[in-house]
Amino acid sequence: MIDAYEDPGTPDRRGGARYLWWLVRCQPGRSVAGALLASVWMALLAAAPYLLARAVDEGLEPGDTAALAGWTAVLVVLGAVNSWVSVLRHRTMTRVRMDALFRTVKVVIGHAVRLGAALPRRTGAGEVVTIGVGDVHTISNALTVIGPGVGSVVVYGVVAALLLAVSPVLAGVVLLGMPVVALLVGPLMARLQRAEGGYRERQGVLTARMGDLAGGLRVLNGLGGKGLFADAFRRDSAVLREQGYRVGAVASWLQALGVGLPTVFLAAVTWCAARLAARGEISVGELIAVYGYVAVLVGPVAFLVDMGYQLSRGVVAADRVARLLRLEPEPEHGCADPPAEPAVLYDPESGVRVVPGRLTVLAAAHPADGAAVADRLGRYAPSDVTWGAVRLDEVALPQVRARILVAGPEADLFAGTLREVVSGRHERDPDALARAVRAAAAEDVVQGLPEGLDSPVSAQGRSLSGGQRQRVRLVRALLADPEVLLAVEPTSALDAHTEATVAARLREARRGRTTVLTSSSPLVLDHADTVVHLVGGKVAATGRHRELLEREPGYRALVTRDAERETDQARGQDIGQDTEEDAGQDAGQDAEGAVR
């Protein structure tokens, strides 16, 4: 089975069937062993009726006790050997399926990491979630074709050969049975594949909508739009349910045929064999053997039908994985060297100029305007931004990421201890960690957890409040200590007292380093070296906070609105306490401003 740190290889991304074949080729020895063991297992099952016929014809009917005992002993040994082969077959096929599952998981995660910031712009979150939750298991189950699938074909041929020695008529009936099965099941396979593909597409869309709904629930409450989105989600769920019924209807017919066809097959061959025995054309032992052969075929025929079902679903799931793997990262042509020393970042689209070593705050009535500037300055969106004397998109991306950090308000928080969440992949100096915690005013977050920094934090920080998550993200950004820090709305979920504390400490912690914040809070703006007032995404005015208050009516109106909000917020809570409700109020008002 694939090792957690092993290279999964280069997948075949040309389609679902080719991807499944690549998974088989990645483990050739195990795949061949699974096919051989399954073939031997089923062939030995077919050998049992032959031995039973010999025991009847040579021992029981003539009364030869020695021959009967000998054939019985051979049957016992055969059963024991076949049980051992069955265990080996099951273990091998389990390893085949698990290798395919973990290899697909590694391939998908690795490609998602390579896509980076381009991933959410190329595909929906629901698509990735659906692949991770359901498709990887469907793909691994489809590889059943390697073991029981191949074995079923082999034993079908073996039984036909054994029946040929008994009666060519019976052998012909058996050989004609498989084309009949294919004619009945084939159209259902194609129909299932189409229905399954449509269902999976709709499932991905609904999963993405569910994630968006859960993530923006507080904003929707603030805007009064929760009911509207809930109704839309309910309608989409009903459509998905109807598609699920259609998939289930086709699948039920396939499963019914998997049980019914072998039974009909068994009845037809047994009837033919009984007629031959009644006419004396075959012996009683051969009649028993024929019945045993056909009874053995019930399993392989059912396996073949189920194999087609699993393979059809597997091709649909693998095709979704292949489509994701065909997404390419944004082209990287940068080869220029970055500035040797801290340099000015300039965004021609907005007119924002970030001077090195200063705390700059972008104030906009619409938070999305400030976030868009931060994305361009951090090279997360196409732009003509310059960094000193060079274009930012001409600098090698790894060097940009090493020196410029964009700290988004919804940046992912992975599960782990608080120390691991804020430290990332590197061990952090305890003193540096303590300074970052203090700068983000997160001492109460650490002290409030049972084991402090070693307390477990759930994925996305769900065990923390909105304000606590925001400060944890800020601690992580400060620990990274980038040359340029671009923090989008880093204090929007904090109460007024905590926000003022963070603003003051952040200025001190980043003294001499280039720091850009987006905020319209006067508590943050008052600590800025430079305030850039954005209107419609363009620079309307630049200066110190108090200067702009005196000479810019638009800026004054923006800041006054936020000051009133913070005053109302402070009246409804104790000093130093931040709650989820605060995050909801802030998010709701920010969203309301964005709507206006």
CB 544 within 8 A of CB 532: no
> In the structure, what pLDDT confidence band is assigned to residue 50 with cuts at 50, 70 and 90?
confident
Residue that the structure tokens 């693998």 belong to? 318
CA dist 188 and 560 (Å) reads 67
pLDDT tens per residue across span 258-277:
667 767 777 777 788 888 88
Do residues 325 and 319 touch, judged by C-beta distance below 8 A?
A: no
- What is the end-to-end Cα distance of the chain in Å, rounded? 56
**Tokens describing residue 338:** 């970055």
Highest mean pLDDT among 113-122, 248-257, 409-418: 409-418
- The identity of residue 474, as a single letter, is L
Instruction: Judge whether residue 489 has pLDDT over 90.
Output: yes
> Mean pLDDT, the chain, as a whole number?
81
Low-confidence winner among 76-80, 178-182, 430-434 (lowest mean pLDDT)? 178-182
For residues 519 and 563, give the distance between their C-alpha atoms in angstroms, rounded to a whole number: 12
Place of tokens 């006054």: 560
Give 264 or 592, the one with higher predicted confidence. Answer: 264
Q: What does the DSSP 8-state code read for residue 542? A: E
Q: What pLDDT is recorded for position 564?
A: 57
pLDDT at 409 over 50: yes
Rounded to an integer, what distance in angstroms lies between the CA atom of residue 452 and that of residue 417? Answer: 9
* Confidence band of 576 (pLDDT split at 50, 70, 90): very low
Give the whole-angstrom CA distance, residue 34 versus residue 31.
5
Amino acid at 357: G
**Does residue 83 carry a pLDDT above 60?**
yes
pLDDT at 399 over 80: yes
With 90 as the cut, is the pLDDT of residue 144 above it? no
d(CA 350, CA 376): 10
Q: Which of 121, 106, 87 is nearest to 23 (CA)?
A: 106
Extract the tokens encoding 298: 């019930």
506-551: pLDDT as tens digits = 999 999 999 999 999 999 999 999 999 999 999 999 999 999 999 9
The pLDDT assigned to 589 comes to 38
Cα separation of 135 and 318, whole Å? Answer: 7
Q: Give the angle subtended at the CA of 580 by the CAs of 579 and 584, to the nearest 5°.
A: 125
Rounded to 10 deg, the angle between the 430-439 and 496-509 helix axes is 130
Query: CB neighbours (10 Å) of residue 221?
Result: 14
Torsion over CA: 523, 526, 528, 531 (sign): positive
For β-strands 390-391 and 404-407, DSSP reports them as: unpaired
pLDDT tens column, 338-391: 999 999 999 999 999 999 999 999 999 898 999 999 999 999 888 999 999 999
Q: Is the Cβ–Cβ distance between 16 and 315 less than 8 Å?
A: yes
Region 84-97: mean pLDDT is 92
The pLDDT value recorded for residue 384 is 93
* Cα separation, 87 vs 314, whole angstroms: 25
3-state secondary structure of 390: strand
Tokens standing for 291?
Answer: 């019945």
d(CA 139, CA 312): 10
**Percentage of the chain surpassing pLDDT 90?**
37
Q: What confidence tens digit (pLDDT) does each residue in 303-352 have?
A: 777 777 788 888 888 998 998 899 887 777 778 889 999 999 999 999 99
Q: Please tell me the distance from the alpha carbon of residue 71 to that of residue 58, in angstroms, as a whole number.
A: 9
Q: Phi first, then psi: what are they for 447, rounded to 5°?
A: -70, -30
Strand partners, 457: 416
Confidence tier at 412 by pLDDT (50, 70, 90): confident
| Whole-prediction pTM | 0.64
State residue 356's pLDDT score: 95
| 175 vs 521: which has the higher pLDDT | 521
Main-chain phi, psi angles of 344, to 5 degrees: -70, 135
Pairing of strands 514-518, 359-364: parallel
Q: Is the pLDDT of residue 160 over 70?
A: yes
Q: Strands 386-387 and 345-347: what pairing?
A: antiparallel
Say which amino acid occupies 199.
Y
Please classify residue 4 by burial: count the beta carbons closer than 10 Å to its beta carbon, then call 0-12 exposed, 13-18 middle and 19+ buried.
exposed
Annotate 22-55 with b (16+ C-beta within 10 A) or e (fewer). Answer: bbbebbeebbebbbbbbbbbbbbbbbbbbbbbbb
Residue 20, number of CB atoms within 10 A of its CB: 25
